[in-house]
Structure 1
Amino acid sequence: MLSGFLVVLGRSDGPENQATYVQQIIHARQQLFTGQLIHTDVRSLELAAGAESPRLFRVDILGSWRRAKPGEPQVPVSAGAQIGVKLHCSGAGLRCTSLSSERQNVLAKNGGATWVWDVRAQRAGKASFALTVTAYFRETSTVLAEKTPMRSRVDVAAPKGKNHWISWVEALWGWVTGAITSLGGLAVSASAIIAVILTVIRRQLPDAEADADTPEHVGIDRRRPRTRSVPTSRPRLRPARTQPSATGSVRFRRRSEAHRDRE
């Protein structure tokens, strides 16, 4: 109640009240001290598209420094106020669901707070993370200090059992949907986008499937051609040669013998 009253008093008109509000902000900033931020290394998440169980991303802000575990990134951060931590996720259908309050108090050097997110990826590809840390003046939206966003990128693996070209098509579709979202009110032809995707899929298919999908030639008459009947000439039958009979042979020999006797 007292802090809310002071904030309202500080925001009211009048030079004295405005000066009081400014003095409170200056004093609150002077009370800040350097704390320690430790967060999960995104490479250790080993993200895979369509994984059944989500991965946990954790952030700890401590009032004093301690030795971090191997592989835990750590950076200095302002403490001694109400701290707000946000995790921004993008790419590969990445979803980061917060499991803790966005703003928590880290007021003393022996104190601390923890933030946790569930991380899931829907598609294979590049995923980006951006972590922002802000120190607020009490429960207001007045910013006392804000750290430069800490960015990191990681590759999301394709789910097991999928071919490379299928993952590539999914990544392409993710890029197309992202482009449509970024274009906003601009008119985008859905049929043209689908045609491009189908063309790319056909080029990425194996040769056997490409041969099977080769379109047939149009305009070819596949009816059975007609055959002309060619007249065939019948072979002429020659009379069979007859052997001379026995009576004719005897007569011929007698004539020959009679002719020789005359000579």
Structure 2
Amino acid sequence: MVGLRAWATRRRSSVLLVLDALGGVSWVALGLLLALVWGSFVGFVTRSEEEDRPGGAAMGPAPPTGRFSYAEEIERERRRLFDVTVLHTNPRALGLVADAPPRRFRVEIPGARVASGPGESQAVASAGTQMGVKLHCSGAGVRCTPLSSERQSVLSRRDVAVWLWEVQAERAGTFSVALTMTSYLRDTDTVLVEKPPLVWSVEAVAPPADDGWLSRARDLWRQVTEAITGLGGLAVSVSAIAAVIAMVIRRRLPAGGPDDDAGTADPVPDVGRRPRPRPVRRVRRVRRVRSRLGRAARRARQSSGSSTGAISS
């Protein structure tokens, strides 16, 4: 009897062990099944949310989900930043004139060079990431037109970056100019550091009231003087040509004629006017011409007198 009871006890324990083992396996299988179902549900919901966004999954990876990890990343990137010298145009040195061509406003991170030139001022900014520089102009009739990209990468102390604007005032008055420099987290819109903006009060002066008609008068006077100079040169050329023609005609006069007496007669001096001194060369040339004409006239008179005597005889 004792052996039978022991056998029954061992049999009962084996059955209980088998049942316990089967129960544990079933619970494990049930847990795995629930995990698979939950993972499929979460994946479906996440994929649906990405498809509902504009651009779908092309929007890029989402920021860290844990608030503590996001704050850690911001703090880590801020510790990597370093100060750089920024050279910028002094707005008061622009010399703005109302309704005049625009002036250039320049901001530069010069890398190793830190010496400022004439009309420039210095400031300090945080670099080591992407930097955005903005120029804000406020006031009636003032425009600040950017000529370069707003954001540029400055990753080391030797990197050089340049920003340009055109500043133009449509009318005279006082307006304000504000320069803002911002450091961003990589290529996101998350701001790491943004110092207070630099603000100036700038005055645009009115153009001179008589500048328009004065410039036109100067242009007209220049044209008149050029025309007079041209006409003077032409007159000198014409007078020189006329003198040459007269000289040639005088040298080619005929040897004799009935009107030679009138041509050889000495002119009656004008009592009221004083004779102007003539150049020596011209006087000698005129005297030679007169002597030739006088000799021709005397020959003509002699020939006319001999012919008259022959006729009378």
Establish whether residue 117 from structure 1 lines up as the match of residue 165 from structure 2.
Answer: yes
Identity in percent: 49
Offset at 1:77?
1.0
From 98, 108, 132, the equivalent of 1:49 is 98
Other-structure match for 2:122: 74
Root mean square deviation, CA, Å: 2.2
Q: Secondary structure at the match of 1:19?
A: helix
From 144, 148, 158, the equivalent of 1:96 is 144
Offset at 1:63?
4.7
Letter in 2 for 1:60: E
In structure 2, what is the Cα distance between the partners aligned to 1:76 and 1:141? Answer: 21
In structure 2, what is the Cα distance between the partners aligned to 1:32 and 1:152? Answer: 27
Establish whether residue 19 from structure 1 lines up as the match of residue 40 from structure 2.
Answer: no
From 77, 80, 90, the equivalent of 1:28 is 77
Letter in 2 for 1:93: G
Offset at 1:159?
2.1
Going by fraction, where is helix more abundant, 1 or 2?
A: 2
Where has structure 1 moved over 6 Å in runs of 4 or more? none
In structure 1, what is the Cα distance between the partners aligned to 2:202 and 2:171? Answer: 13
In structure 1, what is the Cα distance between the partners aligned to 2:210 and 2:146? Answer: 30
Structure 1 segment 83-232 matched on structure 2, within 5 A: 83-161=131-209
In structure 2, what is the Cα distance between the partners aligned to 1:49 and 1:71? Answer: 20
Q: Secondary structure at the match of 1:48?
A: coil
Other-structure match for 2:34: none
Letter in 1 for 2:97: A
- State the TM-score, normalizing by the size of structure 2: 0.46
Write out per-residue CA displacement over residues 10-50 of structure 1, whole angstroms, 9 at most, x where no aligned residue: 1x3xxxx3332222111110110000111101122110111
Q: Secondary structure at the match of 1:73?
A: strand
Letter in 2 for 1:115: W
Letter in 2 for 1:124: A
Q: How many residues align?
A: 154
In structure 1, what is the Cα distance between the partners aligned to 2:72 and 2:113? Answer: 30
Offset at 1:81?
1.0
Offset at 1:154?
1.6
In structure 2, what is the Cα distance between the partners aligned to 1:110 and 1:39? Answer: 18
5+ residue gaps, structure 2: 1-56, 212-313
For the Cα contact (< 8 Å) 1:35–1:65, is it kept in 2? no
Q: Measured at CA, do residues 23 and 65 of structure 1 come closer, stay the same or move farther in structure 2, by a change above 3 Å? A: farther
Write out per-residue CA displacement over residues 216-261 of structure 1, whole angstroms, 9 at most, x where no aligned residue: xxxxxxxxxxxxxxxxxxxxxxxxxxxxxxxxxxxxxxxxxxxxxx
**Which structure has the higher relative contact order (CA within 8 Å, separation 6+)?**
1
In structure 1, what is the Cα distance between the partners aligned to 2:70 and 2:160? Answer: 28
Other-structure match for 1:38: 87
